[in-house]
Structure 1
Amino acid sequence: MSQPYVDETARVRAALAVIPADDYGTWVDMAFALKSGLGDAGFEIWDEWSRTAANYNERAARTTWRSAKQTGGKTLASLFWLARQHGFELKRSAYPDRMATALAPRPDVLEQRSREEARQRARHAAVAREAQAIWEWARPVGPEHPYLVRKHLEPVPTLRELEAPELHALLGYVPASEAWPLTGRVLVVPFWIGEAMSTLELIDEYGRKSSLAGGLKKGGYWIAGAPPSKAEPASPILIGEGMATVLSAHRATGWVALASLSSATLPQVAAIVRERFPDVELVVLGDLGPGEIKAREAAQASRAYLALPVFANDARIDDKVPTDFNDMAVLSSFSRVGDRLREIVYRHSEPVQPAAHLEIGEVPGERREEVMSNVKEKLVTEAQEPSRRRASKRGEPKQVTPPESPPPAAAPVTTEPAATVAPAGEPSAATAVTSRQFAPTRPPVGEPLFAVADVPNEVRALAEHRFGSPLRMATPRENGGPYRGEVFNTEHYLIQEVATRSVVFHPKAQMEFVSERLRWMDENARLNGSELQVGYDGDHPKVYPWDRARDLLERTVGSLKKSARELNFSPNLEVMLDQLQTRSWARIREARAAALEQSKERAGSQDPNGPDR
C-alpha cells in the first residue's frame, strides 16, 4: 500500500512549531539541521521560527545562518527527534493548518519585544543627541590631515576633526577599531537619516575606523556636496560605500555623492534616494571584491547604473590590490575617474541591466592595461615641474563640471584625445590636455598682501622686544602658508616667529579661528607663547592649532619611510615605524602630563605668605 505524499517543508515547519526557540543551543542546532536538509532555502523557515524567541536579533540570526555548515553534524532527523520529545507526531499523513502556522510569537514574547524596541529607540535617540553635540564641538579639518593626504583628498565642510583625547573626554570611552584605539587627529564624519543626524563615523590618521556605540546605522548616509533639491533639475547622484570612495567620485565629477557606512546598508540608502528622487540618474559605486555583490543588489533594486573601477593587472597600492574609486584616483587620476563615471551615465538612455558575461558599467573591449599607473603620473608630474621643486601630493587636477544633458548620440564618447599635429609655435592638444590634467587644485601663492612698512612702528618694536634683534620681518602672501611657529598677540596683529629671528605679521581684521578654544584664547589674551599654524585663503587668514614636537616626529618618520622605500626595504619596516611613532607620541604626552602635575604640586606647596622673616 502506497504512502500518501507529505510535503517535507510543511513537515519541517510543523516540527519546528512545537520546539521552543529560546534555548541558544537548540536554536543553533536547528540552523545546522535546516541548512543540511533544505540548504539556503531553509533560512526563511528557521528565521520565522527564531522570531518566536523573546531575545531574537535579526543581525545575530543572519550571522549564525551564514556560519552554519551543511555538514555540521545535525540533520533533519535531529530536528524530528527533538520535535517528538515535545509531542510531535511524525507519521501523520497531513498536518493541520494550526500546526503549519503555529509560528506566531506568544503574547508575552510580543510584549517583551515591544519593550526592547522602545529601549532601542531611546538608545538611538540618545546617541543621535550625542553625535550632534560632538559635531558642534568639533572644528573644521585643518590642512595636511594625514589620512586625507594619503588618499589625495581635500577637506570639505561636511567633515570635521577632533584630537583623540578630546573624543575620549566627550564620549567617556576610548573609541577603537578591532582593539586598536583611535589616535591623533580624528576625522568626524556625520551620518544622516532624513533631516536628523543619527551617528558619527570616526577615522584616525592611520585609517582606523569606528562609530558611536549604539547608533542607528541602517539607512544612514554621509553627503559630499550640496544636498539635491526637487525644485531644480539635478545632476546624477552618486552612492557608494565609505567616505573616501564617495569623496573621490564627488571631486572627479562635481556631482552630489552619498556614502553608506558599509556595503550591507548600501541597498537601503539607494532605495531611500530613489524614492525621494524617482527621475534622477543614480550611480552606485561598487568596490571590487565582497562589496560588489551588495552594490549590484543596490543598483538593480533602485534602477541605477553600477560603476566599477578598473585597474591595470599588476596595479598595487601600498602592496595591496586596489579595489575602489579612491584607489583608482590615486593610481591614475581624478580626471580618469570622472571620465569613466560620465561615460557610464551619458552613453546609455537607461540604466544598464545586469548580464552574466559583462560587468555593469564596463565598456566592451576595454583593456585594463589602458589605465594610467601611478608611476606614469609621477613621471609626467615631475617632468612638468621645476627640478628644484618637490612634487606635491596636493597637486591634483581641477575637475570640470559635467554637462547637464547627455552629449549627442552622433558624437561618440572618447576617453583619450586623438593625436593631432599642432602648428609651429602653438601647443598641441595633447599638451593642453596634459597641462589641465595636472593643474594644481590649490591657487598659486601670490604677492605679499602689504608691505612691512605698513606695519606700525610700535608693533615692529614689540616684535623685536619679544623675539630679539636684529630681526627679519615679512608679511604674508596671498594664498600663502601654512606659517607655523610661536605667536605674540597684539590688538591688530598676530606676530609669528616662523624661524629663528624671523617673523611674519598677520593682520587680525579678517582672521578666522577654526575652534572656539582658540577664539576664547584670543579674546582673553591667552595666545601669547602658543604655537599655531596660519594659512591663507586669498587674503583671508585661518588659524589652526599646531604642535611642534608632533610635527617634527611626523616629518622624521615620513623621511625614514621614504628612505626605506628608495632602498627597497621590507614593507614591514613602515608598519614598525608607524608603531614606534604611536608609542613615541604617547610617551611625549605622558611626559607633558607628568610635568604639568609636578608644576601644579609645586605651585600648591608654596606658602602664599612667603617665608618667615
Structure 2
Amino acid sequence: MSTRYISEADRVRAALAVIPAEDYATWLDMAFAVKHGLGEAGFEIWDTWSRSASNYDGRAARATWRSVRESGGRTLGSLFWLAEQHGFDLKGSGTPEIDMAGSGRDRAERATQAREADQAEEEARARHAAAAREAVSIWQWARPVGPQHPYLVHKDVMPVNTLRELEATELRALLGYAPKSADEVLSGRVLIVPVRIGDALSTLELIDEQGRKSALAGGAKGGGYWMTDIPPAQGDHGDPILIAEGVATALSAHRATGWFAVAALSSGNLRRVARTWRERYPDADLLVLADLGPGQERAEHAATDASARLALPVFAPHARIADVAPTDFNDMAVLAGLEAVGDVLREAAYRHVAGSNEADLPRPDEVAWVTVEQKQGERKEDRPMGRLKQDAGEGAKRGAKEAKDVSGVDLAEGAMQGAGQPAVSNDGATRALSRREAGAPLYGLDEVPGELKALAQHRFGAQIRMATPRENGGPYRGEVFNTEHYLIQEVATRSVVFHAKERMEFVSGRLKWCDENQRLNGADVQIGYDGDRPRVYPWDRARDQLERTVASLKKSAHELGLGEDVAQTLEELQARSWSRIREARAAALEQSKERPARDGEAAPDR
C-alpha cells in the first residue's frame, strides 16, 4: 500500500527544521539549495527557517535571496545530506517517502536525489578538508591578541591564549576573499577563534571589532566548539565543565569561576557539543549556560540529553545594555560583576550536592542600579559606554580574581603552549597574565661562545649589556639576529639576550620557515619561557609603540584634567594611524604575492 504523497516543498521544510540557521556559511548554502530546487517559490520556506536564528535580519535575508542564483552549486541533495548529518531521516515516519508504489518517474527522481546526495557528501568532505587546512595555516600566521581589542573591551572580557587576531586586510589577502557577516564585510582587528571537532581543527570563527561574525567558507562547524583553556585530563575533572553558547559568555563564566569552558558557537549546536563532552567525560559535572530567549529551549534540551545541569542568568526587571534587554552570562557580568556570575554558576552546579534549592539563587532586587556616570567614580572607563550597570556590592574584590594562569594552546599542532603575551585590564592598563615567578638564569654568559658575543657587538654596538634568559622569564621583545645555535635579541637599547635554540619552539609555520631558511635576521619577535623551554611568537613593534604612545598621552591628559574629549580624539588618531599602517602592509603583501619567487625558492607554507 502506498504512503501519502509528500510534496517536495514539505520535505524541504522538514529537513531545514533540523539544521541550525545561525552559521552564515550554512545559511547561504541553504539559500542556494532551496532556490535551485524550488525557485522563487522557495523564499518563504527559507525565510521562515532563517527566522529561527537569533541573529536573523529580514533586510539581509531578502538581499541575500535576490543575490543568489539557481546555478550556485548547491542542490536539494546538498540540503538533504546536511539535514541527515543533524539527525534527519528521509525514510522515517516523520517524513514518509514519496509514493513508494508510485510511478517510474518518482522512482527515477528518488534515484537522482540519492546520487545528488552522494555527490554533495563527497563535495562537502572535500570542502571541509580544504577549509581545515586553511584554518591551520591562518591560525599559525595569526598573532596573539593585543591590548584593547574593541570587541573584548565592549564585552568586558580578557583575552586568552586560545584566541588570536589578524587585521581584516591581512585576512582578506590570505583568504583571497573578504569574510562577511550577512552582507557586511568584517573590518578592523579580527579575532581568530579556532573551532575543533574532536581533536582536529576544523574551521575558524571570525569576530571583528563591531562583533560581526563569520567563518571560513566551506568549513565544518556542526558539533564543533571553542575552548577557553587546556581541557582537563581524564579522571582529573573535579570542577564542573561549562558549556556556553558564545565566546564572550564562555570567557565571562571562565573568569568568574576559574572552571574550564567551551563555546558551542550557536544555540543549535549546543546539543551536539554537550553530547560530545558527556561522551568524553562520562563522570564529570557538566553545566550548560542558557541564553534567555530563543536559545533557552535548545539549552534545556542539550542539558537533558547530556545529563547536565542548567544555569540561567539573573537580571533586574528593567536591565538594559545599550537599550537592549540582556540575555546571557556575559551581559550579567557587565551589569552585575563577575562575583555575581560566579555565585549563580556555583549555586547551579552544586545545589543538588549541597542540598540547596532555587530559592538560594540571587534575586534581581538584591542588587542596586547605578548609571555609568556614578560607576566612573568607582572605576574609570577608557571610553563612554552609554549603558547602565548593576552594582555587584563588592566589585572592588574583582581585581584580584581577574588574572588567571593559563597555558596557551597551539591548536594547529594540538599541543598546549604558554604564550606570556600581555593582557588588558578593565582600566586599559597593560599587564601580564599571571605566570610562575621568574627564576635564576638558565645558563651563564661564560657558556655563550666568544664569537657570538663579538657578533652581537658587531651587530648591535661595541658597548652593550649582555644577559641570558631566566627560568619562566619573558616575554623578551625586540629584533633578533639568527645563528645556528642561538638567537641574539636586542631587548632594549644596547642590551641583548642570548637565547639557546636547543629546545626552542616556533609557534607559527612562518617563523619556523624563516628560521630554517635563514630569513629571521632583523625580525621583531617576542620570546617567553615555560620553565626552561623558549617559545617564539610574532611581535608587532609598530603597533606596540603606537599603543604605548597613545596610552602615555591619555594618561597625561587625564592628569592635567583635560577631559574625555581629548582621550577620545587620541583614540581616533590612533585608529587612523593604525589603519594607514595596515593598509600599507596589505598592499605590500599583495605585491609580494604577485612577485615571482627569487632564485627558485618557494615561499613559506602559510
User: Same-fold call, TM > 0.5?
Assistant: yes
Distance 1:310 1:571, change over 3 A: farther
Identify which range, 551-560 or 282-291, moves more after superposition: 551-560
Query: 1:211 Cα shift?
Result: 1.0
For residue 495 of structure 1, report the CA deviation from its aligned partner. Answer: 1.7
1:286 aligns with 2:279: no
How has the CA–CA distance of structure 1 residues 302 and 211 changed in structure 2, closer, same or farther, with 3 Å as cutoff?
Answer: same
Verify: 1:504 aligned to 2:497, yes or no: yes
CA contact (8 A) 1:270 1:299 kept: yes
* Aligned match of 1:419: none
How do residues 451-462 of structure 1 correspond to structure 2 at under 5 angstroms? 451-452=444-445, 454-462=447-455
1:580 aligns with 2:549: no
The Cα shift of 1:129 comes to: 0.6
Tell me the residue number matched to 2:367.
368
Deviation at 1:226, TM superposition (A): 5.7
Structure 2, gaps ≥5 residues long: 14-33, 59-94, 100-105, 381-397, 407-430, 600-606
Matched, 1:521 2:514: yes
Opposite residue 585 of structure 1, the aligned amino acid is: I
Say whether 1:548 aligns with 2:541.
yes
Distance in structure 2 (CA, Å) of the matches to 1:144 and 1:343: 34
Q: Which residue identity does 2:50 align to in structure 1?
A: T
Question: What letter is aligned with 1:589?
Answer: R
Report the number of matched residues. 475
Cα separation, partners in 2 of 1:305 and 1:451, compared to 1, 3 Å? same
Say if 2:195 and 2:224, in contact at 8 Å, map to a contact too.
no
CA distance in 1, matches of 2:527, 2:486: 13
Helix, strand or coil at the partner of 1:348 = helix
1:188-227 equivalences in 2 (<5 Å): 188-192=193-197, 198-204=202-208, 207-224=211-228
Instruction: Answer whether contact 2:528 2:536 (CA < 8 A) is retained.
Output: yes
**Contact 1:201/1:211 (8 A) holds in 2:** yes
- The CA distance in 2 between the partners of 1:321 and 1:472, in whole Å, is 58
Which runs of 5 or more residues in structure 1 are unaligned? 1-13, 28-49, 70-100, 380-391, 401-437, 605-613
Question: 1:554–1:581: 8 Å Cα contact kept in structure 2?
Answer: no
Contact 1:54 1:110 in 2 (8 A): no
Q: How does 1:409-420 map onto structure 2 within 5 Å?
A: none
2:266 match: 262
Kindly provide the amino acid, as one letter, of the partner of residue 62 in structure 1: W
CA distance in 1: counterparts of 2:376 and 2:319, whole angstroms: 10
For residues 454-504 of structure 1, give each alpha carbon's deviation from its aligned partner in whole angstroms, at most 9, with x where no partner exists: 544332222221112322333334433322222112333322223332322
Match of 1:187 in 2: 192
Alpha-carbon deviation of 1:519?
Answer: 2.1
Following superposition, the deviation at residue 190 of structure 1 comes to 1.5
SS at match of 2:474: coil
- When residues 227 and 470 of structure 1 are mapped into structure 2, their CA distance, relative to the original with a 3 A threshold, is closer
Q: Does the 8 Å contact 2:169/2:582 carry over to 1?
A: no
CA deviation string 1:341-397 (max 9, x = no partner): 2221211259999xxxx89x94458723499x9879959xxxxxxxxxxxx999824
The offset of 1:545, in angstroms, is 1.8
> Quick one: distance in 1 between partners of 2:289 and 2:571?
30
Provide the residue aligned with 2:391 in structure 1.
none
Aligned residue among 478, 481, 491 for 1:485? 478
Deviation at 1:561, TM superposition (A): 7.3
Q: Which moved more, 1:123-132 or 1:294-303?
A: 294-303
Matched, 1:240 2:244: yes
Q: Distance in 2 between matches of 1:288 and 1:533?
A: 42
What amino acid is aligned across from residue 129 of structure 2 in structure 1?
Answer: R
In the TM superposition, what are the counterparts of 1:262-341 in structure 2 within 5 Å?
Answer: 262-270=266-274, 281-288=285-292, 291-299=295-303, 304-310=308-314, 323-326=327-330, 328=332, 337-341=341-345
Deviation at 1:261, TM superposition (A): 2.1
The aligned residue for residue 344 of structure 1 is 348
Task: Give the number of the structure whose alpha-carbon radius of gyration is greater.
Answer: 1
For residues 57-456 of structure 1, the aligned pairs below 5 Å read 60-63=47-50, 104=98, 106-107=106-107, 110-137=110-137, 138-139=139-140, 142=144, 144=146, 147=149, 150=153, 152-156=157-161, 167-168=171-172, 171-178=175-182, 179-181=184-186, 183-184=188-189, 186-192=191-197, 198-204=202-208, 207-224=211-228, 236-250=240-254, 252-253=256-257, 255-270=259-274, 281-288=285-292, 291-299=295-303, 304-310=308-314, 323-326=327-330, 328=332, 337-348=341-352, 362-363=361-362, 367-369=366-368, 396-398=402-404, 441-452=434-445, 454-456=447-449
Worse-superposed segment, 523-532 or 168-177: 168-177
Corresponding residue for residue 37 of structure 1: none
Change (3 A) 1:185 1:521: farther
- Distance in 1 between residues matched to 2:368 and 2:238, nearest whole Å: 34
Task: Map Cα deviations across residues 319-361 of structure 1 (whole Å, 9 max, x no partner).
Answer: 98765334555677656544432221211259999xxxx89x9
Q: Deviations over 1:545-580 (max 9, x none)?
A: 223223334445666777699823499869956863
Letter paired with 2:196:
F
| C-alpha separation in 2, matches of 1:142 and 1:177 | 23
Residue aligning to 1:418: none
* Contact 2:143/2:165, CA 8 A, preserved across alignment: yes
Q: Percent identity at matched positions?
A: 47
The one of the two structures with greater contact order (alpha-carbon pairs below 8 A, sep at least 6) is 2
SS in 1 for 2:564: coil
| Cα RMSD for the two superposed structures | 5.4
Map Cα deviations across residues 17-37 of structure 1 (whole Å, 9 max, x no partner). 899959x9xx9xxxxxxxxxx
Task: Quickly say closer, same or farther: Cα 1:63–1:470, change in 2 above 3 A.
Answer: closer
* Counterpart in the other structure of 2:422: none
Separation in structure 2 between the aligned mates of residue 199 and residue 595 of structure 1, nearest angstrom: 27
What is the letter of the counterpart of residue 509 of structure 2?
A: E
2:248 alignment partner AA: A
Between 1:313-322 and 1:119-128, the stretch displaced more is 313-322
Choose which of 532, 543, 555 in structure 2 pairs with 1:539. 532
Does the CA-based 8 Å contact 1:489-1:495 persist in structure 2?
Answer: yes
What TM-score results when the alignment is normalised by the length of structure 1?
A: 0.60
Contact 2:205 2:216 in 1 (8 A): yes
Mapped to 1, the partners of 2:562 and 2:525 lie a distance apart of: 33
In structure 2, how many angstroms separate the alpha carbons of the residues matched to 1:448 and 1:319?
A: 54
Summarize deviations over 1:26-65 as a string: whole Å, max 9, x none.
Answer: x9xxxxxxxxxxxxxxxxxxxxxx99x7576975442379
For residues 565 and 115 of structure 2, what CA distance do their matches in structure 1 show? 58
Q: Distance in 2 between matches of 1:319 and 1:541?
A: 48
> Letter of the aligned partner of 1:501 in structure 2?
R
What one-letter code is carried by the residue in structure 1 that aligns with 2:328? D
Distance 1:561 1:186 in 2: 25
Deviation at 1:444, TM superposition (A): 3.5
Partner of 1:474: 467
Amino acid of the structure 1 residue aligned with 2:535: K
Report if aligned partners of 1:54, 1:112 keep a CA contact under 8 Å in 2: no
Distance apart, 1:285 and its partner CA: 0.8
Assess if the C-alpha contact under 8 Å between 2:6 and 2:98 holds in 1: no
Q: Does structure 1 conserve the Cα–Cα contact (< 8 Å) formed by 2:143 and 2:537?
A: no
Amino acid at match of 1:467: F
TM-score of the superposed pair, with normalisation by structure 2 = 0.61
CA contact (8 A) 1:253 1:399 kept: no
Q: How many angstroms apart in 1 are the aligned matches of 2:253 and 2:8?
A: 50
Q: Is the 8 A contact 2:135 2:203 kept in 1?
A: no
Distance (whole Å) between structure 2 residues aligned to residue 21 and residue 211 of structure 1: 29
